[in-house]
């Protein structure tokens, strides 16, 4: 089968023919139809997590496709099921076939095609777990999302809106259309104004960018007892506690129950999915290059087969 391969850290990815994997007793073999890129994939190629991975390897965490074969101990899925999911850390999604655990997959939203479905898992789970598992966002609270035009931020805005929170979102002018489609109550173009000049009394802050400066500045607009969650860094819990606040990072985990709930919300028309550009599998490096620029407005997805 064809697969994207990292041969050497920090170098362009290659397309190689590799053996098709076979599922173990507790595994599922998926015929991949689409696989989405995330900022994490850039970090993997660059070698930032090479202490936990070995080359050569097939990267990729987000996928959508059909179940081809299941191991003897798998009972929740069967061949022919159309699924989507998130394979953490070890990767393998950027290939014609991939191995996943049953708890990493669920039935894909009926209303989405494979490209749209592949763009959902990691970023939607990160937003969901940040807001509800960690921050315990409640109806009526004020939420500030930094990077509301990105995948995590746009999902977070929509989840919070459905929860009944008041949503404030910062984003560049280029991503304003996504922020507005996500239904934020207040949009701030961070290129033109500082959020702390127009925002106050925030209960929850979600930061999707790697910016310690945003953490400190956000502390200044939060209510006592406010909760800050950062998806791309570990904010200072000590500084937050000294201010009467809470702050934490998050490492999102596969969760089929949460992903099923998200799929149901998508099928009910409550959540929109934003895709910017697709590339065939053999143009994977071009997809990486686009994601590296940060100019994509929506997800970048590889199509397979």
Average pLDDT over residues 165-171: 98
Three state DSSP letters for 47-87 = CCCCCCCCCCECCCCEEEEEEEEECCCCCCCCCCCEEEEEC
Classify 147 as helix, strand or coil.
coil
Separation between Cα atoms, residue 133 and residue 34, nearest integer Å: 28
Give the lowest-confidence range in 52-66, 136-150, 207-221, 250-264. Answer: 207-221
**pLDDT value at residue 295:** 87
**Chain mean pLDDT for the chain:** 96
The partner residues of 31 in beta bridges, in order of sequence, read: 66, 97
The CA distance from 100 to 252, in Å, is: 17
Stretch 234-253: mean pLDDT: 94
The model's pTM is: 0.96
Greater model confidence, 232 or 184: 184
Using CA atoms, how far apart are residues 188 and 145, in angstroms rounded to an integer? 10
d(CA 167, CA 184): 5
97-119 pLDDT, tens digit per residue, is 999 999 999 999 999 999 999 99
Q: What is the pLDDT of residue 185?
A: 97
What is the model's pLDDT at position 209? 85
**Share of residues in the chain with pLDDT > 70 (%):** 100
Q: Provide the β-strand partners of residue 188.
A: 170
User: Which band of pLDDT confidence, cut at 50, 70 and 90, is reported for residue 212?
Assistant: confident
Structure tokens at 120: 């959902």
Backbone dihedral region for residue 164 (phi beyond 0: left; psi -120 to 50: alpha; all else: beta): left
Does residue 181 have a pLDDT over 90?
yes
* pLDDT band, very low/low/confident/very high, at 232 (cuts 50, 70, 90): confident
Residue 89 banded pLDDT, cuts 50, 70, 90: confident
The whole-number average pLDDT for the span 154-176 is 97
| pLDDT (average), residues 229-254 | 94
Per-position DSSP letters for 92-141, written without gaps between them: --SBSEEEE-GGGEEEPPTTS-HHHHHTSHHHHHHHHIIIIIIS---TT-
193-217 b/e (C-beta count within 10 Å ≥ 16 → b): eebeeebeebbbbbbbbebeebbee
DSSP state, residue 187: E
């Amino acid at each position: 089968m064809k697969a994207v391969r990292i041969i050497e850290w920090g170098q362009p990815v290659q397309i190689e023919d590799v053996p098709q994997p076979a599922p173990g007793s507790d595994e599922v073999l998926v015929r991949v139809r689409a696989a989405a890129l995330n900022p994490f994939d850039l970090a993997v190629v660059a070698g930032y997590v090479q202490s936990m991975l070995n080359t050569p390897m097939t990267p990729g965490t987000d996928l959508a496709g059909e179940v081809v074969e299941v191991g003897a101990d798998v009972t929740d899925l069967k061949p022919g099921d159309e699924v989507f999911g998130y394979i953490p850390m070890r990767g393998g999604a950027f290939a014609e076939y991939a191995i996943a655990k049953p708890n990493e997959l669920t039935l894909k939203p009926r209303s989405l095609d494979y490209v749209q479905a592949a763009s959902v898992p990691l970023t939607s789970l990160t937003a969901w777990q940040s807001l509800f598992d960690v921050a315990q966002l409640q109806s009526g609270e004020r939420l500030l999302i930094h990077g509301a035009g990105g995948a995590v931020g746009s999902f977070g805005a929509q989840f919070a809106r459905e929860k009944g929170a008041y949503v404030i979102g910062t984003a560049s002018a280029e991503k304003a259309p996504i922020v507005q489609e996500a239904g934020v109550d207040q949009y701030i173009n961070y290129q033109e104004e500082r959020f702390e000049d127009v925002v106050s009394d925030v209960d929850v802050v979600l930061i999707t960018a790697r910016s310690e400066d945003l953490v400190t500045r956000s502390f200044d607009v939060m209510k006592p007892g406010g909760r800050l969650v950062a998806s791309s860094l570990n904010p200072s819990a000590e500084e937050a506690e000294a201010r009467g606040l809470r702050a934490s990072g998050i490492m999102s985990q596969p969760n089929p129950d949460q992903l099923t709930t998200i799929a149901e919300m998508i099928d009910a028309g409550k959540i929109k999915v934003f895709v910017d550009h697709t590339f065939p599998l053999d143009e994977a490096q071009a997809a990486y290059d686009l994601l590296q620029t940060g100019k994509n407005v929506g997800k970048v997805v590889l199509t397979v087969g």
